[in-house]
Chain A
C-alpha cells in the first residue's frame, strides 16, 4: 500500500514530480501506526479518550499521559510520536499564555488551533528539520460558543468536527475497547478526560469513579456482543 518516493523523499523541501511532499506523508504514517485517540463533541461538552498501549509492566498506572491540559479550558489528545506531541503541547501552552498576557482572557479555540497549525506547518517547509510526527485534537467548552473540536495533522491543516457528557464518557470508553486489537497489542490503559458544563469549562481527567463505571459499561457491552455473535451461529 505504501508508495516509495525514491529520491524525492529525502527532505521536506523537495516536491515529487506528481506534486507530493513525501516527508509530510511519511509523518502521517507515524500517526496511522499509533494507537487510537478519540474526541467527541456533545451538546454540553467534549470527551477525550486515548488507547494508551502499555509497553512494559513496570510502568506505573497513569504515567506517559497522552492527554494534555492547555490552559484551563482546553484539552489536547494526541496520536503519533509522543515526544513530538509533548513539545507541541508546550507550544500550545505558550501561545495560550501569551494570548492571556496580551488580551486578558482565555484564548479562543480556533485562534489557538490556527497558531499551533501554523507552527506545525512551518516544520514542513525546510530541509533542516523534519515534520512533526503527530496529529492532535484540541477541544474546549465555553458558555458562549459551546463545545468545539479542532484537529491538526502533520501537514499543518486545522479543521473542525449530540448526548450529554456523562453519557458520552461511556460511549467513548466502549469505542476504545472495540477498537483495541487484542491480537496485535496486549495490555492497554484507558485514559479519559472531559471539558464541559459538567466541569464548569475546565479540562480535567475524568474522575476515577466515572472512569471505572465507563470501563465496566464498555467491557459489559463487548461481552454482550460476543454473546449475541454466538447465538447467531
Chain B
C-alpha cells in the first residue's frame, strides 16, 4: 500500500478524526468517530475505538498518530493504576497531568493530542485538553481532530452550560454526525461515553442511525 506522506500529515496510521467532550449538569459526555486512515486515502479500520478508559471514571480520546496515542494512553493507564493504592480514586487532573507530562517530555518524538474527561469527588465533571506540544487546558466543551474544523460553528452556537444529560448526548451525537459528514478521514460509528458520579454508560450509534441533516 503506497503511503504518500506530506509534511502536514501523520506518518503511518493516523486517527484523522473527530473527538469531542462536553460537560452537562452532573456529568460529562466524551465521544469520537471510529475511522483510522493511512495517507488520507485508505481506511485501515472502520471500527477503531478512540475512546479509552484510563480509570473507572476517567476517559481519554486520541487524535493524531494512532501508534503514539496508544502508547501514551497505555502508559497513563498504567500509572493511574497505582493510584488505586491510595485511599481515593485519582482526580481527573491527575490523569490529564500524567498525559501532559508524557506529551511535553517527548514532544520531539510524539505526534498525538488528547481530550481527557471524567468525574471525580473533588471537582465533579471536568474536561481537559492536552495538545500536541503538551499544553494542558481545562474547558467546559472542546473538540479536536481534523473533523473538528467543520463543527466549530455548530459547537459555538449550540453548546449551553448545565444542559441535561439527554440534551448533551444529542448535542454530541449531532456534532459528530456533522463532522463525519464533511471530513473524509472521519467516519464509521459514533462512540460516546457518558460519565457521572453514578457510573459510566457507553453509547454506540452506527453510521446508518446517525442524525441526518436537511440537504442529505
Contact B122 A104 (CB under 8 A): no
Is residue B184 contacting chain A, with contact meaning CB distance below 8 A? no
Contact A111 B86 (CB under 8 A): yes
Q: A105-B91, A108-B88 are in contact. List 10 more A-B contacts (CB 8 A).
A: A103-B90, A103-B91, A103-B94, A103-B98, A104-B91, A104-B93, A104-B94, A108-B87, A110-B86, A110-B87
Q: Which 8 A-B pairs have the closest CB atoms?
A: A104-B97, A103-B94, A104-B93, A103-B97, A105-B93, A144-B122, A105-B91, A111-B86
Chain A residues near B (Cβ < 8 Å): 101-105, 108, 110-111, 144
Contacts of B121 in A (CB 8 A): 144
Chain A residue with the shortest CB-CB distance to B128: A104
Across chains A and B, the number of contacting residue pairs, with CB separation under 8 Å, is: 29
Chain B 74-91 residues near chain A, CB threshold 8 A: 86-88, 90-91
Contact A102 B86 (CB under 8 A): no
Contact B97 A102 (CB under 8 A): yes
Contacts of A110 in B (CB 8 A): 86-87
Chain A residue with the shortest CB-CB distance to B87: A110
Is residue B101 contacting chain A, with contact meaning CB distance below 8 A? yes
Contact B87 A103 (CB under 8 A): no
Q: How far is the CB of B128 from chain A (nearest CB, A)?
A: 9
Q: How far is the CB of A148 from chain B (nearest CB, A)?
A: 11
Contacts of B87 in A (CB 8 A): 108, 110
Q: CA of A105 to CA of B100 in the docked complex: distance in angstroms? A: 14
- Central interface residue in A101, A105, A111, A144, by most chain B CB within 10 Å: A105
Q: CA of A108 to CA of B83 in the docked complex: distance in angstroms? A: 11
Chain B residue with the shortest CB-CB distance to A143: B122
